[in-house]
Amino acid sequence: MTADSQIDLIPVRALNQVTYCPRLYWLEYVEGLMVINEYVEDGTLKHSRVDDPKTANRPRRERETIHTRSVSLASEQLGLTGKLDLVEEKDGAIYPVEYKRSSAPTNADGQATCWENDAIQLCAQGLLLEEHLGRPVPEAVLYYMGSKTRVRVPLDVALREKTSAAITLIRTIAAADQPPAPLPPDLTYRCNGCSLLTICQPEETRFLQVAGEAVSPETRPATISCVLPELDEGAVLYLQEQGSYVGKRSEHLVVNLQGQEINRVPLAAVRQVVLFGKVQISTQALETLVQLEIPVALLSRYGRFIGALMSAPSKNIMLRVNQYQTFSDPAKALGLAKAAVKAKIANQRTLLMRSLRSQSQDEEDPIRGSDDPAAIEMARMLARVDEASDTGVLLGLEGQAASAYFSVFGRMLHGPVPGSAFDFYARNRRPPRDPVNALLSFGYALLAKDTFSAVLTVGFDPYLGFYHGSKHGRPSLALDLMEEFRAPIGDSVVLTLVNNGMLTTADFVEWNGACQLTEAGRRTFFETYERRKATLVTHPLFGYKMSYGRMLEVQARLLAAYIRGDVPAYQGLTVR
């Protein structure tokens, strides 16, 4: 048997998955996705009792029966491989016994029976055993641990045909370029216990597949259930005290500065750690954070995003292969770039119009934000995005829209006295030279670390983008995804801080022409930024509520769905 032929063998467990849901098989075996939920964990735990390496492959007589546990078999002829939980030999008969964590279903007469997907998996084990022994295996046993029921399953012709059909289905699906569609509505009850529910997003995918490019809230089905939690749990731990040291003590992160403990946070309450500049962290603390899948983001002392440390990238190498292929296709990359730029301009324009309207003093003749010359110019650029023939043209349109937007950004800042610290005339950066530009740059840096985490969580390579060019160390895809969130998160936080008088000139320092927030000013920024991310908004396409923080992940997942050919188009998030 060659290494290649071994790779082609189908694990018998895959026959169970493909019968339950062909898409589940594709996501797990072709994409390599595996999520541990309570069902998977429980099943693994229960199987571990059967799967004891000390007893593997060793026949043991127990009264009249010989038991052999964890029997590994493979057959090139059948194209199958698998580990049998138990092989039982009794009264001259030999058969596999497969353990299941669930309870046995019952038939109309109240008799214990079995699920078809379990029977097919068992039948494949019987076929392997038959070939291995060179003698017939006419029946086998399913043991349902939930109800402690033994169900005898005849390996008859009908079941063998179904098993053979499942093998053929796997071969067909594995050779396809796209995953199978989500289960039809009459079978979606199966999705409830599916470990890949939050990744698959069956209802959203079905809606986008049916709607095609003409997707809009009007074509949305009456209800789409939100499978991601509305809010992120736990807090983001921002650590910026220069010279401090983060260690781990029992189940806590402990921050010390000059030998004094200045902070102690239970690990269970943390969902992300952000380190600024010279904040040291112990290897033990890092190891624990990575094991707990809590990302650690690194920013320079001045707030520039440097990178993030997370557990090893997910195993779904196919997503990254598809990412490289899709982004190196100029037409596809341009299509995605247009979606990002459209969403960015639309969101900037919405923020501008909303802000100008809110300043209206005259009830008789309210300000119509859309009449503002900058809003008109932005609408003009927006209308031309679809016609852009290449990235250069698109960059030009985006630049013109940004110039119109920032030409009036100062008017969105309520009430700064002309000549005051919070005047804004133009965007400047690297370094920002005034407080408002310092706030904008700081907000975008925090946003970049969050989009970086979102694309890594989904399994992308964050350094290969479709719009921002590749450059050593530039997290291009994180920057691409960030475009649609700049106005609703980054700019919005800046407006909140300035317009509510939450910062004063004392919260900034200037050095060599560069302006930056003080540590106290940053603390206020972090709080406002996290509050904004926790704000619940209705997803414009799916119609359910979730926080902006969650939407970062949803958009990254929609991008993944487009890249793997699951849905026909990617649409950037546009807020109302």
For ligand SF4, the binding residues (CB under 6 A) are 21, 23-24, 27, 182-183, 190-191, 194, 196-197, 200, 202
Q: What distance in Å separates the CA atoms of residue 223 and residue 468, rounded to the nearest whole number?
A: 36
Token pair listed for 68: 């052999």
CB of 20 to ligand SF4, least distance (A): 7
Helices (H) and strands (E) in the chain, counts: 19, 19
**Closest to 482 (Cα-Cα) out of 458, 439, 450:** 450
CB of 205 to ligand SF4, least distance (A): 8
CB of 199 to ligand SF4, least distance (A): 8
DSSP per-residue letters across 403-441: HHHHHSHHHHS--PPTTSTT---S---SS--SHHHHHHH
Residue 117 vs 125, nearer CB to ligand SF4: 117
Contact in structure between 447 and 493 (CB atoms under 8 Å)? no
Residue 33 vs 336, nearer CB to ligand SF4: 33
CB of 121 to ligand SF4, least distance (A): 16
CB of 181 to ligand SF4, least distance (A): 8
Contact in structure between 93 and 106 (CB atoms under 8 Å)? no
CB of 477 to ligand SF4, least distance (A): 25
Residue 202 vs 488, nearer CB to ligand SF4: 202
Residue 21 vs 440, nearer CB to ligand SF4: 21
Residue 183 vs 438, nearer CB to ligand SF4: 183
CB of 372 to ligand SF4, least distance (A): 45
Residue 196 vs 438, nearer CB to ligand SF4: 196
Q: For 114-151, b where at least 16 C-beta lie within 10 A, e where not — what string?
A: bbebbbbbbbbbbbbbbbeeeeebeebbbbbbeeebeb
Residue 416 vs 568, nearer CB to ligand SF4: 568
Contacts (Cβ under 8 Å, ≥6 apart) of 86 = 50, 67, 68, 69, 71, 96, 97, 98, 99
Q: What is the DSSP letter of 292?
A: T
Q: What distance in Å separates the CA atoms of residue 278 and residue 273, rounded to the nearest whole number?
A: 14
Contact in structure between 294 and 253 (CB atoms under 8 Å)? no
Token pair listed for 537: 């908004």
Q: What distance in Å separates the CA atoms of residue 451 and residue 444, rounded to the nearest whole number?
A: 10
CB of 332 to ligand SF4, least distance (A): 25
CB of 314 to ligand SF4, least distance (A): 16
Q: What distance in Å separates the CA atoms of residue 394 and residue 339, rounded to the nearest whole number?
A: 11
- Helical (H) or strand (E) element with 20: helix 12-20
Q: What distance in Å separates the CA atoms of residue 349 and residue 369, rounded to the nearest whole number?
A: 9
CB of 16 to ligand SF4, least distance (A): 12
Residue 39 vs 425, nearer CB to ligand SF4: 39
CB of 26 to ligand SF4, least distance (A): 8
Residue 200 vs 560, nearer CB to ligand SF4: 200
Q: What distance in Å separates the CA atoms of residue 563 and residue 460, rounded to the nearest whole number?
A: 10
Q: What distance in Å separates the CA atoms of residue 94 and residue 102, rounded to the nearest whole number?
A: 25
| CA-CA-CA-CA torsion sign (433, 435, 439, 445) | positive
CB of 197 to ligand SF4, least distance (A): 4
**Closest to 168 (Cα-Cα) out of 71, 31, 25:** 25
Distances (CA, A) of 41 to 97, 142, 144, 438, 541: 21, 20, 16, 47, 33
Contact in structure between 263 and 256 (CB atoms under 8 Å)? no
Residue 30 vs 306, nearer CB to ligand SF4: 30
CB of 76 to ligand SF4, least distance (A): 29
Q: What distance in Å separates the CA atoms of residue 544 and residue 550, rounded to the nearest whole number?
A: 12
Token pair listed for 231: 């809010």
CB of 561 to ligand SF4, least distance (A): 12
Token look-up 């059909």 returns: 165
Residue 189 vs 511, nearer CB to ligand SF4: 189
Residue 199 vs 404, nearer CB to ligand SF4: 199
Contact in structure between 294 and 508 (CB atoms under 8 Å)? no
Residue 322 vs 492, nearer CB to ligand SF4: 322
Contact in structure between 494 and 439 (CB atoms under 8 Å)? yes
Residue 29 vs 466, nearer CB to ligand SF4: 29
